Amino acid sequence: MTRWIFAGLAAVCVSSAAPLAAEPGIGAAVPNFRAYDMHGKIVDLSQYRGKTVVLEWNNPGCPFVQKHYQSGNMQKSQAAAVAQGAVWLTINSGPPGKQGHMSGVEAQKFVADQHAAPSAYLLDPQGLIGKGFGAKTTPHMYVIDGDGRLAYNGAIDDKPTADKADIAGARNHVLAALGEMRAGKPVSVPESRPYGCSVKYAA
């Protein structure tokens, strides 16, 4: 059954008996959600049905996030995914008063300053989307196929450090998964251990 998460819009509505914080497994249908983006527009995950969707958990204050943005790696990954027809949703689950929290205006400045290229930057200050997916770190990456099922869950790459120099020799799990999906192949590495700063959820 479909689960709905309304981040910042209203109380959470769950249409199945599964707990909200249950992390979807590979091949399982992911919970749908609606959230405000940085411009105050409502984004509904279901509007992208039929397309591959990448979710990226973001905290600009995290050195692991800074590794991928200051090097341009995250922006290149975003641009490559979107060029292939995928949708890239960057999500901020930081609550007010915690590291990484941003208003819509602050998120717009971050995206502009970093020359980032997500399809949308979503605000999840209550952490409802993050907990619904089981997001643990920033960054934590998910790839959802066109049928709304989880195809990848884990780290952006296989070098769990904050050192930008490690990016050159890393395997980008997200882009690898997207390439295999486009070729009609199974994702060879569907799961990996996410690394980074812990998501700073509200108490």
Digit-coded pLDDT (tens) for 54-76? 999 999 999 999 999 999 999 99
**Is 120 among the domain residues?**
yes
Q: Name the percent of the chain lying above pLDDT 90.
A: 88
Alpha helices in 85-172 (DSSP H): 104-114, 128-133
Q: What is the pLDDT of residue 23?
A: 81
**Is 203 among the domain residues?**
no
Note down the domain range covering 149.
Answer: 4-198
Residue 19 has pLDDT above 90, yes or no: no
**Is 31 among the domain residues?**
yes
**Is 131 among the domain residues?**
yes
**93, two tokens:** 């689950």
**Is 149 among the domain residues?**
yes
Q: For residue 36, what is the domain's CATH number?
A: 3.40.30.10
Instruction: Report the distance separating Cα 91 and Cα 87, nearest Å.
Output: 13
**Is 90 among the domain residues?**
yes
Q: What is the pLDDT of residue 14?
A: 30
Per-residue pLDDT tens digits for 117-154: 999 999 999 999 999 999 999 999 999 999 999 999 99
**2, two tokens:** 């479909």
Smallest Cα–Cα separation from 152: which of 167, 165, 169, 139?
A: 139
**Is 16 among the domain residues?**
yes
**Is 107 among the domain residues?**
yes
How many structural domains comprise the chain?
1
Residue 200 has pLDDT above 60, yes or no: yes
